[in-house]
Structure 1
Amino acid sequence: MSNNKQELRIICPNGHLGFAPTKEESFYIGAATKPDYYCCDSGSDDIGPGPLGADTCASNIEWQKHDLELMLVAAREQGVPMIIGSAGDTGSNSKVDMYVQIIKDLARKHNMPKFKLAYFYSEVSQEYLKDKMKQGIAIEGLDGREDLTTEQLEETDRIVAVAGVHPYIQALQMGADVIIGGRSSDCAIFAAPALLNDFSESLSYYLGKVLECASFCAEPYGAKESVIGTITRDDVKVTAMHPDQRCTVASVAGHAMYERSNPFFEYVAGGMLDMTRCSYEQFDDKTCRITGPEFTPVQDKVKVKLEGSGKVGEKYIGIAGIRDPYTIKNIDQVVEWSRQQVREKYGDSGYGLYFRIYGKNGVMGDLEPVKEIKSHELGVVVEGVAPTKEMAEEITLTGTRQLFYARLPEVKGTAGTAAFVMDEVLPAGGAHVWTMNHVVQVDDPMELFPVKMIEIG
């Protein structure tokens, strides 16, 4: 299905739905212009592996409901589609189900007329990948990782595949009014409607790239404000909705090029989006016009990105504040003393002990020693990871309190001057690591993302 529209307008109210609430003023300003689609990404791997591995949300549930309600009410009043990707931060199956239920509840709350809701899951089973590997298909590593091994796979608790535009296009072709997607490429959520309406791949994927973080592409900086992207046969325009924000050449180009390398490779799109060829111009006071991005399809078989997380133990944290100048000067020896006290009981392996030092001449973490520390105070966050909660708690408590008891030369018996140490350490839940950042070859881009349709109301 396609049409002959010469212009398509998409509003994005939030760069990560529910991570912090959408600002309502700019949203309503944008909604009043009657955009063709309401689209928002709801997930990211920036939140770390914990939420995926534990199947929890990184975002407050009420904030997520708030953002979904804003979009659903406006989209249904106007009678245009609403698209959400990477439901519930991770796009796991349970979070898709959670969002579908929220939409049902909101429809009942607002007594909405019947509408069609499409949804798809993104989780991938270990068995599916084991079968691929038995067929001799390598699960290729990204960002310097080796190809996936059976051992790594078995250490993984949950896997999601990253969907491209295909399930969104199919859902729209099926007549969906609302789409709730599992884990998805950020830009695919916005590119899909444009591609369905026969706009070029180059401009459609650029539209997705510039809209995915909402007002991050505007100045002055202000998150969680709405922007509208407009695609034509010749260009993309992006307009800030907040009265005090503007989309400028500098803000839009800077946002589009923040990726670590170019061309930006979009695995789930099956090609390369080269943004180094873009031209930017100020269209009006609040709008930047972009021309010239180039999308080049990859000719080999479709590859879908996989994200996997595995639990490695339980975690506790402790916090210490250090003001004594002599202790600050010798902080590396103080940390080593604390480590040694843990080693004396638990040895050198089977746990993790990490010291994050804030104020060490503006640096943080387990870094190279600084010759001269100018800060008058250090904040030390101690993280202990171990197989059991009891062990993690003791390791963290020992590592934190021993900062207070470190035996430094030239200290003449004075106690209590070195540090303020928390009386207790705090449980921080399970500790997870990324076990998978890979791509899998598939015969059909819809292979992992079957679309389901239900009627609401």
Structure 2
Amino acid sequence: MTEIRMLSTSGILGYGYAEESLRIGMERKPHAIGADGGSTDPGPHYLGAGTSFCSRLSVKRDLKLMLLAAMAAKIPCIIGTSGGAGGEPHLQDTAALVREIAREEQLSFRMALIHSETDKATLIEAVNAGRMRALAKLPPLDAATINRAERIVAMMGPEPIARALDGGAQVILCGRSSDPAQWAAVAIRGGIPPAVAWYAGKMLECGAEPSVPKEPDCLLVTLRDDHLICEPPNPIRRCTPLSVSNFALHENASPIHHTEPGGMLDTSDVVFEAVSDRAVKVSGMTWVPAATYTVKLEGVERAGYRAISICGTRDPVLISQIDSYLETHRNKVAMKAADFGVPPSAYRMGLRVYGRDGVMAGWEPTPKPMGHELGFVVEVVADTQDIANAVLAMARTSMLHADFPGRLCKEGNMAFPFSPSDIALGPQYRFSVFHTMAVDDPCAPFPIEYETV
């Protein structure tokens, strides 16, 4: 029976993991080591700005330990969705970090960069050929939306990663990739059936999350022809049937049907069995190939420029009439902005009220749960940063000094925890492309570049 062992260090490169967990995991002689490097969870900003949501310092620490372990064991080290979002800036920044570590540690290896930022002309051609389908209730993709986008990435499946392994790469940095794809690539290439390979990828994509207690750390998965076994190397953690089955629901629209590039993982008949007090065997999954191979596209466009201010009040008289106070506040800001020649169409102002409905907003099921203090995040998004800053300054002044019935305070109504009180956040982005593109060749959108480091 074929056996493949793979070690995932954490859910996101840069989240950290116990060095001892890595040492114990490497003693099990895995065939590959890796980590997912990104996600859409932090929102559209990082894809648009070309920056990472993890610090360079933490990513370098995690990556250095992984590279040293992989080179010593002569196994591949694979990073999915490099740099947090998988665009070209993210891929290049991660590659620069790898080269820096190699120089400092005197390492030498063959590295593959798999690009996923997609040429706009190619995408428009695909639109015209009818090969696009909208996701997330978005409208059909058109040339105007593509051209407005700051950056668009395609999400690779396992095929480009397997091709890079075939090309002799010891370190593989992926642009945007399906979270389980890097693991499925190693397993399928090693002879494991797709169903087991993809399920293992689902377990490994977030490191030790299928174990308890939950914390960023390593996970070892052993795959055989008809099952897999999940076990955390760290002795303080353990996988249980409940923890593994609970994690299997992670980020899926359906609890049993998981759509991936090239097909669907069906977990209707999966069985979870404890093989020890720390390890769980999973079996019974099936793989249904898709009639047409599609890749997901993710793109963002600039929606304006943002500025925020954070403040709070503990005044019971003000809190008792907060709705009317905020309505008056909105009207005053609109009038002041108009006096300065800023029409309502040039900006949007938002107010989050923490202590009432700041988290759930209109979905808050508990009517008016007022505390003894309220916190406010005042947000302005405008066509330019100057307009956003100007309107926010008006909003901050109004929040601070506006009068209200029964007011006893003759100075400021709000407490500001920070100086400066007004924080310019720069460009704001929104997701504009969440579509799938049918392709004839799963590797075609993902060119591979090799180098000797």
- Structure 2 counterpart SS, 1:284: coil
Aligned ranges for residues 426-437 of structure 1 at < 5 Å? 426-437=423-434
The question of 1:50 aligning with 2:42 is answered: no
Percentage of identical aligned residues:
32
User: Could you say if the C-alpha distance between residues 184 and 131 of structure 1 is closer, same or farther in structure 2, counting changes exceeding 3 Å?
Assistant: same
Q: Counterpart of 1:90?
A: 85
TM-score (norm 1): 0.92
User: Which position in structure 2 is the counterpart of 1:443?
Assistant: 440
1:279–1:292 contact (8 Å) kept in structure 2: yes
1:314-329 equivalence runs, <5 A: 314-329=305-320
Give the letter for the 2:299 counterpart: G
Q: What TM-score do you get using the length of structure 2 for normalisation?
A: 0.93
Which residue of structure 1 aligns with residue 210 of structure 2? 217
Aligned pairs for 1:236-247 (under 5 A) are: 236-247=228-239
Gaps (5+ residues) in structure 1? none
Deviates more, 1:398-407 or 1:6-15: 398-407
1:121-160 to 2 correspondences below 5 Å: 121-135=115-129, 137-160=130-153
- 8 Å CA contact 1:354–1:366 kept in 2: the answer is no
Letter in 2 for 1:158: R
SS in 2 for 1:305: strand
The answer to whether residue 221 in structure 2 is matched with residue 234 in structure 1 is: no
Read off the aligned partner of 1:311 and give its amino acid letter.
R
Q: Per-residue displacement from partner, 1:61-100 (whole Å, max 9, x unpaired)?
A: 1111111101000000111111111111011112222222
User: Is 1:163 equivalent to 2:160 in the alignment?
Assistant: no
* 1:118–1:368 CA distance, 2 compared to 1 (3 A): closer
What's the secondary structure of 1:276's corresponding residue? Answer: coil
1:86-125 map, 5 Å? 86-112=81-107, 114-125=108-119
Deviations 1:394-425 (A, max 9, x none): 2222223322334433x256424732135521
With 125-134 and 395-404 compared, the bigger mean Cα shift is at: 395-404
Given the superposition, is the C-alpha separation of residues 362 and 133 from structure 1 closer, same or farther in structure 2, using an over 3 Å criterion? closer
Q: Deviations over 1:339-384 (max 9, x none)?
A: 2122222343221211122111684446679644331111111111
Kept in 2, the 8 Å contact 1:329–1:373? The answer is no
Deviations 1:270-321 (A, max 9, x none): 111122321101111111110111211111x211100001112211110011
Amino acid at match of 1:58: F
RMSD: 2.0
Closer, same or farther: CA 120–372 of 1 in aligned 2, 3 Å = closer
1:251 alignment partner in structure 2? 243
Q: Partners of 2:247 and 2:114 in 1: how far apart? A: 30
Shift of the 368–289 alpha-carbon distance from structure 1 to 2, 3 Å rule, reads closer
Q: In the alignment, residue 448 of structure 1 is paired with which amino acid? A: P
Equivalent residues, number: 445
Please, which of 283, 290, 296 is the counterpart of residue 291 of structure 1?
Answer: 283
Q: Does 1:182 align with 2:182?
A: no
Q: Which amino acid in the other structure matches residue 430 of structure 1?
A: P
Structure 2 counterpart of 1:312: 303
Structure 2 stretches lacking a partner, 5+ long: none
Q: Secondary structure at the match of 1:217?
A: coil
Task: Indicate the residue corresponding to 1:356 in structure 2.
Answer: 352
> What is the CA–CA distance in structure 2 between the aligned matches of 1:108 and 1:258, rounded to whole Å?
38
How far is 1:34 from its partner? 2.2
Query: Given that residues 355 and 366 in structure 1 are in contact (C-alpha distance below 8 angstroms), is that contact kept between their aligned partners in structure 2?
Result: no
1:8 equivalent in alignment to 2:4: yes
CA shift in 2, pair 1:213/1:220, >3 Å = same
CA contact (8 A) 1:162 1:183 kept: yes
Give the equivalent residue in structure 1 for 2:58. Answer: 63
Equivalent pair of 2:401/2:412 in contact (CA under 8 Å): no
| Mapped partners of 2:365, 2:440: distance in 1 | 52
**Match status 1:26 vs 2:18:** no
